[in-house]
Amino acid sequence: MSQKIAVLPGDGIGIEIVAEAARVLNHLKNDGLDIEMIEAPVGGAGYDAAGKPLPDETLALVKESDAILLGAVGGPQYEALPRELRPERGLLGLRSELGLFANLRPAILYPQLADASSLKPDVVAGLDIMIVRELTGGIYFGEPRGIREKANGEREGFNTLVYSESEVDRIARVAFDIAMKRGKRLCSVDKANVLEVSELWREVVIKAGSDYPQVELSHMYVDNAAMQLVKWPKQFDVMVTKNMFGDILSDAAAMLTGSIGMLPSASLDANSKGMYEPIHGSAPDIAGKGVANPLATILSVAMMLRYSLDYATLADKIEHAVGSVLDKGLRTPDIMAEGCREVGTVEMGEAVLGELSA
């Protein structure tokens, strides 16, 4: 039976880059990929179409899909909306409604792009880190939360950072499993010197680790981890951390590669159903100009084929095609370098299709 993929372009450059990724998926039908794709609005587009960032029809579609391809959400025209109607709420709603608790954010430096990093080439050459970010708990979702008035009339804002043992255990196990398939080193990032929630986090991660004796487990405070990431990132193999720490560290890790336009991500539930999206945002400043880099989204399709749809061979094929396109010197403006040829979104997508046919 064919597998169903929900295609959610979202806002800004999401529309252009998802179109290229969808063409790649369509093309792979020639190689036996048995899928059906259905498009739906989310984020600002959801608000425009149905008055809310995660329309009911979109939610129904993603729930019955085997995998979701997402572009990006957000744009300046939506910033004045009340918080619950903002595009980001659509994204957070997808994560929580689908139970996508495990966010995999690789930071890989393509050898062809070594000069794109702002760090010295020897610090980042060959970089290959996987950040496993907890995505449906912690301070992003903790209750109580809000803005309230104190007795003296002054307002205060408050959020709750809370993790249960089972939430920590399941994300730790995802990270250990991934470490087993890679370099067998896992660094758990916390703030156990200050926060009780981190104290428990560390305890639970250590306990889960007893089932993974081959994985070398280490712990690092988040401030130090941020510093170590820019100092000597190659010391890391897999990192696992809470929702907000992961949000911050994964941006830093992505930038180590100098090409955030190249990095895919996966958000998985307990059954490996997943949502796949580029790490970068909707980039309203370049939206509609045909210059956005579609490769992160195309590489997200590769992750989808590997983690949710069980077509690892086709995933390899996409990753090879991207490598070949880079080898040939094709570059979108964000990764442009001397001696290369600058191309737009569509031309880059077509080049990948060309490699897939070769």
Residues with Cβ within 8 Å of residue 171, at least 6 apart in sequence: 101, 102, 132, 134, 240
Q: Which of 39, 88, 269, 350 binds ligand IPM (CB under 6 A)?
A: 88
- Residue 262: which of ligand IPM, Mg ion, none does it interact with, CB under 5 to 8 A by kind? none
Per residue, the 3-state secondary structure of 319-338, as one string, reads HHHHHHHHHCCEECHHHCCC
E strand intervals along 235-346:
238-241, 264-268, 274-278, 330-331, 341-342
Instruction: Work out how close the CB of 108 gets to Mg ion at its nearest, in angstroms, rounded to a whole number.
Output: 18
Instruction: Work out how close the CB of 70 gets to ligand IPM at its nearest, in angstroms, rounded to a whole number.
Output: 10
- CA 269/CA 28 separation, integer angstroms: 25
Tell me: does residue 169 bind ligand IPM (CB under 6 A).
no
Instruction: Work out how close the CB of 145 gets to ligand IPM at its nearest, in angstroms, rounded to a whole number.
Output: 15
Which one of 16-24, 88-96, 114-122, 288-296 is the stretch in contact with ligand IPM (CB under 6 A)? 88-96
Query: How many C-beta atoms lie closer than 10 Å to residue 84's C-beta?
Result: 9
Which one of 31-39, 161-169, 242-250, 286-294 is the stretch in contact with Mg ion (CB under 5 A)? 242-250
Which one of 15-23, 84-92, 203-211, 350-358 is the stretch in contact with ligand IPM (CB under 6 A)? 84-92
Active site (annotated) includes residue 11: no
Which one of 99-107, 214-222, 234-242, 244-252 is the stretch in contact with Mg ion (CB under 5 A)? 244-252
Q: Is 275 helix (H, G, I), strand (E, B) or coil?
A: strand
Catalytic residue among 247, 269, 317, 328: 247
Catalytic residue among 169, 251, 269, 328: 251
Catalytic residue among 34, 115, 223, 327: 223
Active site (annotated) includes residue 247: yes
Instruction: Work out how close the CB of 252 gets to Mg ion at its nearest, in angstroms, rounded to a whole number.
Output: 10
CA atoms within 13 A on the CB side of 137: 20
For tokens 């945002």, the residue is 281
Q: How would DSSP label each residue in 111-151? A: GGGGGGSSS-HHHHTT-EEEEEEE-SSGGGT-SS-EEEE-T
Q: 157 with 146: CB under 8 angstroms?
A: yes
Q: 278 with 297: CB under 8 angstroms?
A: yes
Q: Show the tokens assigned to 318.
A: 């996409």
Active site (annotated) includes residue 223: yes
Q: Is 249 helix (H, G, I), strand (E, B) or coil?
A: helix
Active site (annotated) includes residue 140: yes
Instruction: Work out how close the CB of 222 gets to Mg ion at its nearest, in angstroms, rounded to a whole number.
Output: 15
- Residue 340: which of ligand IPM, Mg ion, none does it interact with, CB under 5 to 8 A by kind? none
- CA 3/CA 12 separation, integer angstroms: 28
- Residue 119: which of ligand IPM, Mg ion, none does it interact with, CB under 5 to 8 A by kind? none
Q: Which of 169, 199, 216, 247 binds ligand IPM (CB under 6 A)?
A: 247
Active site (annotated) includes residue 269: no
CA distances from 118 to 2, 316, 335 (A): 44, 29, 12
Which residue, 48 or 247, has its beta carbon nearer to Mg ion?
247
In the chain, the amino acid numbered 128 is D
Q: Which of 128, 177, 199, 247 binds Mg ion (CB under 5 A)?
A: 247
Catalytic residue among 47, 78, 110, 140: 140
Residues binding Mg ion (CB under 5 A): 247
Residues binding ligand IPM (CB under 6 A): 88, 91-92, 247
Q: List residues with catalytic annotation.
A: 140, 191, 223, 247, 251
